[in-house]
Amino acid sequence: MRAAASRLAFIDALKAIASQLIVLHHLAFYGPMSDVAHDLAPALISWLSQDARIAVQIFLVIGGFLAAKALAPQGKLIVGNPLSVLYSRYFKLTIPYFAALLFATACAALAGLLMTHDSIPEAPQPMQIIAHALLLQNLLGFDALSAGVWYIAIDFQLFAVLLGTLWLASRLGTRINGTRLLSVLFVTLLAGSSLFFFNRDAAWDNWALYFFGAYALGALTYWASTQARGADWLGLIAVAVVVALLIDFRSRIAVALVVALALGIARRSGGLETWPKSTLLAYLGQISYSVFLVNFPVALVINALFANFAPDNILANGLGMLVAWLSCVLVGAIFHRYIESRTRTVQIALGRIGSLLLYALRNLLHTRPLQRIFDWLALFLRARL
């Protein structure tokens, strides 16, 4: 899809900015180039190393905003089969993610030939690979195979929590004719528990509830901006978050609030689809997920090259950081063109292969109940993937 077609310009711009900040954060945080080049711009590199990661909040709020738009645009769940939606979400996230992990493993092996540094991940182990495939690596205590992959696991958790909450509201709401009210109420209660409790305790940072406050801000903002008195509802959201910040100020939540309000204002003013009119930002937003996935391994290899050939040259390493930044965007664009944009095609092929394998296994069995189970699984894969 071209960047100019069928996209939300304001969200693309936010994604573009956030993804570039994450790239720069990784470049500044993971050396060794940034360690050598630090004196060129100490304040800037220190800020990028420590504070630029707050850009993740932009992705969290946008994620909730778009999930509400897709799942329950009027506050009522519109999907007929939540499990099939969850499967689709899993494969949409993980097909490019798996490709990126293979790329990251190869890059780590190459970097290990050129330098010794604690930023280089160790060779993956079988259980570690399985944990990554299930998006459980952080919950099970495995080291990440690439920087930033924790976010994919959290994104999937958050989507599942929101989907489950909306499904529960739809089941209970039909009995009292109040599905929309229950949807908003349940999401608000979960958001409050996150903002006032879970997000204040770092021990929860591998779980969706730690981040759900920011994610729910996006969802609630989408619903509030559809109402006739949307400005009033946005104001109530802001007041609730300000109270949470007065109790325990967290810059990440303050940023999430600003992003949520910006989305709400942009939607109500009509600027969500049309502003800013920037082809560059639109394209960078379109490829932001690919850039997010591949930036660390690309930067790792370039770090290794400069560590090998110009280990102590401040100017050379400063130039190396610039080269790495541009290379991350270039490789991300290639990855998007040849991998991410073909996710749906791969998903369909996997479904067909899976159904064929299940039918073949079924034919090897002679127990009728087991045959029926495999028939059902094969049909499910063919229909849903």
Same domain, 31 and 156: yes
Helices 343-363 and 82-114 pack at an angle, to 10 degrees, of: 110
Residue type at position 144 = A
Same domain, 135 and 188: yes
Closest CA to 28 of 47, 8, 2: 47
- Cβ 183 vs Cβ 77: under 8 Å: yes
Residue type at position 255 = V
Residue type at position 127 = M
Q: How many domains does the chain have?
A: 2
Same domain, 374 and 329: no
Same domain, 129 and 254: yes
pTM: 0.89
Does a structural domain hold residue 344?
A: no
Helices 208-224 and 56-71 pack at an angle, to 10 degrees, of: 60
Give CA–CA dist 10/66, Å, rounded. 13
For residue 126, whether the previous peptide bond is cis, meaning omega lies within 30 degrees of 0, is no
Structural domain containing residue 358: 350-384
Same domain, 264 and 368: no
- Greatest CA separation found in the chain? 72
Question: Tens of pLDDT along 136-191?
Answer: 999 999 999 999 999 999 999 999 999 999 999 998 877 666 778 999 999 999 99
Q: How many CB atoms lie within 10 A of CB 123?
A: 10
- Cβ 29 vs Cβ 299: under 8 Å: no
Same domain, 271 and 190: yes
Question: Tens of pLDDT along 274-330?
Answer: 999 999 999 999 999 999 999 999 999 999 999 988 888 999 999 999 999 999 999
Does a structural domain hold residue 297?
A: yes
Same domain, 257 and 360: no
Same domain, 298 and 371: no
Helix (H, G, I), strand (E, B), or coil: what is residue 365?
coil
Same domain, 78 and 130: yes
Local confidence pLDDT in tens for the 385 residues of the chain: 334 445 899 999 999 999 999 999 999 999 899 999 999 999 999 999 999 999 999 999 999 999 999 999 999 999 888 988 998 899 999 999 999 999 999 999 999 999 989 889 999 999 999 999 999 999 999 999 999 999 999 999 999 999 999 999 998 877 666 778 999 999 999 999 999 999 999 999 999 999 999 999 999 999 999 887 778 899 999 999 999 999 999 999 999 999 999 999 999 998 999 999 999 999 999 999 999 999 999 999 999 999 988 888 999 999 999 999 999 999 999 999 999 998 878 777 766 665 666 566 556 555 555 556 656 566 655 555 5
- CA 351 to chain CA centroid, nearest Å: 24
Does a structural domain hold residue 120?
A: yes
